[in-house]
């Protein structure tokens, strides 16, 4: 029973159908009729004019955005535990031409204005220190916490005051949005976000994420950078079709809701093992080595996060019986 990662989940049948349906010859790259619908589809969703680009991975979406938001000789503020800092093999430094990540120790990997201001206060304003030019938050965070619109807006105000461009890594934006019960607009551009990496692959997609540019002036540059990074697929229509299929009838929200609900059921069973409140589809639990071994012996797969800590992730397609079984097993520990 897989609670290892939502990356391992299956693809939603509607996505596969859309891929098959896209299989007529059309113009290459992003010149096709399906790709042409993305700007409108996402502009409708976000209630403002956006530029929307398909890219194959969240790492590519994040790093294309960061490279456009921060010059090589400046830095991007992020949580120390942020995926961009820990799990992308140095992709941000590669894409940005050596830009530095300026890391903030943040409980639950959640930035706050106070934490960011304190970190900025440590940077002497001279030519020797890397000055910050951008800020990136992850929503939901690496520990499964969801930002409220007000929390994002507070960071957005700081960004404006400090002249920082503002990026959101939304690998699990869907799960965050479901928990927040807020509109995509309120969680992003209305709160000052310039660019969003909008994750679909973990949430029923196949090979397509969306990079949403609220600051549309960035689009020309980002499109060149996408090509230059080898991310301009020649049959882009198959990536565009995936995104449209997940937007249709709010399938992306339904999938995320299913995952979040499963996580909530497990959270109830986990009780005071929880290291963080469960606000998306991930659980971080205190657990001894022998307890973990016990669970694994029962067939549950999960990730050893740190000493005495494990991570469970509920996928959009998780079988309800698996969730019941795990909830029972956690209660029984």
Determine phi and psi for 313, rounding to 5 degrees. Answer: -125, 130
Closer Cβ to its own copies, 100 or 257, answer by number: 100
Closer Cβ to its own copies, 76 or 139, answer by number: 76
Closer Cβ to its own copies, 65 or 275, answer by number: 65
Name the minimum Å distance from CB 301 to its own copies: 10
Closer Cβ to its own copies, 43 or 305, answer by number: 305
Integer Cα distance of 248 and 197 in angstroms: 19
Write the DSSP symbol of residue 11: P
Name the minimum Å distance from CB 190 to its own copies: 28
Closer Cβ to its own copies, 22 or 180, answer by number: 22
Sheet holding 132-138, edge to edge: 51-55, 209-213, 195-198, 165-170, 132-138, 75-79, 100-104
Write the DSSP symbol of residue 171: T
Name the minimum Å distance from CB 77 to its own copies: 14
Name the minimum Å distance from CB 83 to its own copies: 9
Smallest CA-to-CA distance from 61 within 245, 200, 234, 253 is with 200
Name the minimum Å distance from CB 99 to its own copies: 7
Determine phi and psi for 129, rounding to 5 degrees. Answer: -90, 145
What's the longest Cα–Cα distance across the chain? 59
Integer Cα distance of 329 and 173 in angstroms: 29
């Amino acid at each position: 029973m897989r609670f290892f990662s939502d990356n391992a989940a299956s693809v939603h049948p509607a996505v596969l159908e859309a891929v098959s349906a896209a299989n007529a010859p059309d113009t290459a790259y992003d010149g096709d009729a399906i790709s042409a619908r993305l700007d409108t589809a996402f502009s409708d969703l976000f209630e403002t004019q956006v530029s929307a680009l398909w890219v194959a991975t969240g790492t590519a979406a994040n790093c294309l955005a960061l490279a456009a938001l921060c010059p090589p000789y400046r830095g991007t503020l992020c949580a120390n535990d942020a995926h961009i800092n820990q799990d992308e093999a140095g992709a941000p430094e590669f894409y940005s031409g050596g830009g530095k990540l300026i890391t903030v120790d943040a409980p639950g990997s959640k930035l706050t204005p106070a934490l960011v201001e304190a970190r900025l206060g440590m940077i002497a304003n001279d030519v020797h220190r890397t000055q910050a030019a951008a800020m990136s938050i992850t929503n939901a965070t690496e520990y499964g916490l969801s930002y409220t619109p007000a929390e994002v807006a507070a960071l957005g105000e700081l960004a404006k005051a400090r002249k920082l461009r503002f990026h959101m890594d939304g690998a699990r934006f869907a799960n965050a949005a479901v928990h927040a019960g807020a509109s995509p607009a309120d969680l992003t551009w209305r709160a000052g976000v310039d660019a969003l990496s909008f994750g679909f692959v973990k949430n029923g997609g196949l090979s397509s994420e969306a990079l949403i540019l609220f600051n549309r002036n960035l689009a020309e540059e980002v499109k060149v950078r996408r090509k230059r990074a080898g991310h301009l697929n020649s049959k882009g229509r198959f990536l565009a079709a995936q995104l449209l299929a997940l937007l249709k009838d709010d399938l992306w929200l339904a999938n995320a809701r299913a995952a979040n609900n499963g996580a909530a059921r497990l959270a109830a069973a986990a009780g005071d093992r929880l290291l963080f409140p469960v606000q998306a589809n991930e659980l971080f639990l205190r657990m001894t080595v022998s307890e973990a071994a016990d669970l694994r012996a029962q067939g549950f797969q999960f990730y050893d996060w740190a000493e005495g800590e494990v991570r469970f992730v509920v996928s959009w397609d998780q079988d309800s019986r698996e969730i019941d079984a795990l909830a029972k097993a956690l209660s029984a520990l």
